[in-house]
Amino acid sequence: MKPPFKPFIIPIFIPHCGCPHQCIFCNQQVITGTSGANPSEKEIHSIINKFLEYRRKNRSRTEVSFFGGNFLGLAAGQIQNLLDHVVPFVESKKIDGIRFSTRPDTIDKERLNLIRSYPVSTIELGVQSMDDRVLRQANRGHIAEDTIHAVSLIKQEKYQIGLQMMTGLPGDNEALCLETARQIIALKPDFVRIYPTLVIAGSKLADLYKRGKYQPLSIEECVAQLKKLYLLFQENRINVIRMGLQASDELDDPMTVLAGPYHPALGHMVFSKILLDAAAKKIKEKPSFNDSVTLTVHPKSLSRMQGLNKKNIDTLKQMFDIQCLSLATDPSLEKDDIIVS
């Protein structure tokens, strides 16, 4: 499977704007470090110009993305104003398109008609789960059928579709999570994001956690679950473009994330675990080997093969009683290939 195309994204946060109520896990103002008000035209232009200064010259596509709220849940005039503030950058060819995230139950023909004339390229839906009981406990206010209907309407308009799911929600478990993934695969989105549930200060989930009524996944449990989800999506040719929240000063503050599997290198840990399993299988299948082993991988997979703090190397040496385990690179290999010698 080809790696996912990665445009240069300029994020504009509209924390909690357009949301009809607050989900049990959410406190966008704390996560994003911004207020709950829609940004002004001046603020939007300032953000875009600032990010354009950092854009690499070899980036072939640039998009402005409205995150952190329920974009199509805003009033029609607010939606148009936000889009109007970005359009001049598209017309001047400084950016190529607009994307936003929204709830499945805000997708209808009226709202899609409202944005049809704008240069919107991608719509992301906060699916979170395809189990109605989990959605109810998360206080989502929509059901799985809303997601199915929303994807159908979006596909009619030819937008790219991204679906966001969460792991570790109250009432969820690994079996239900894998079933959510299978139902998402059946909808054939262009890509998915996977966000583990974190206990964020000021959220309703934080209150449940403090009262001992919710226990988040550990880092180890989360990585194991994400690995299974990633491999399932990969097997079905669905690109996973993110696992875990983007690292930030706010999330690194222990006063923000009270508990849960937050790590700035969570995706790296998942890929490292996948390569560890693959390397262990290859070594086990090798007819014989001395106490010295070399693993050859693609150069871009080197750090993943090592693991954080070279944990994978230490694990393999202990598993197979290897005295000397070294790594080599070969750019002709695929990124998930490993040669054992």
Per-residue pLDDT of the chain (341 residues; tens, 9 = 90+): 444 557 899 999 987 677 776 788 887 555 555 555 788 999 999 999 999 998 877 767 899 999 888 999 999 999 999 999 999 999 999 999 999 999 999 999 999 999 999 999 999 999 999 999 999 999 999 999 999 999 999 999 989 999 999 999 999 999 999 999 999 999 999 999 999 999 998 899 999 999 999 999 999 999 999 999 999 999 999 999 999 887 777 777 888 899 999 999 999 999 999 999 999 999 988 877 677 899 999 999 999 999 988 999 999 999 988 889 999 999 999 888 999 98
Q: What is the pLDDT of residue 118?
A: 97
Residues 6+ apart with CB under 8 A from 215: 209
Residues 200 and 302 in one domain: no
- Distance, CA of 184 to CA of 181 (rounded, Å): 5
Containing 70, the helix (H) or strand (E) segment is none
Residues 226 and 298 in one domain: no
Tracing tokens 């929240």 back to the chain, one arrives at 245
Tracing tokens 């669905």 back to the chain, one arrives at 238
Q: What is the pLDDT of residue 59?
A: 66
Q: What is the pLDDT of residue 5?
A: 58
Residues 204 and 294 in one domain: no
Q: What is the pLDDT of residue 28?
A: 59
Residues 28 and 111 in one domain: yes
Residues 6+ apart with CB under 8 A from 234: 1, 240
Residues 255 and 276 in one domain: no
The CATH number for 323's domain is 3.40.1260.20
Residues 250 and 321 in one domain: no
Residues 94 and 185 in one domain: yes
H helices of 188-218, where? 204-210
Q: What is the pLDDT of residue 292?
A: 85
Q: Which of 182, 94, 95, 92 is CA-nearest to residue 131? A: 182
- Distance, CA of 126 to CA of 128 (rounded, Å): 6
Count: domains in the chain: 2
Residues 296 and 253 in one domain: no
The CATH number for 223's domain is 3.20.20.70
Residues 276 and 259 in one domain: no
Residue range of the domain that includes 327: 272-340
Residues 23 and 69 in one domain: yes
Domain boundary among 245, 263, 281: 263
**Contact predicate 200/162, CB 8 Å:** no
- 3-class DSSP state for residue 332? coil
Domain boundary among 263, 296, 321: 263
User: Do the domain assignments include residue 2?
Assistant: no
Residues 257 and 281 in one domain: no
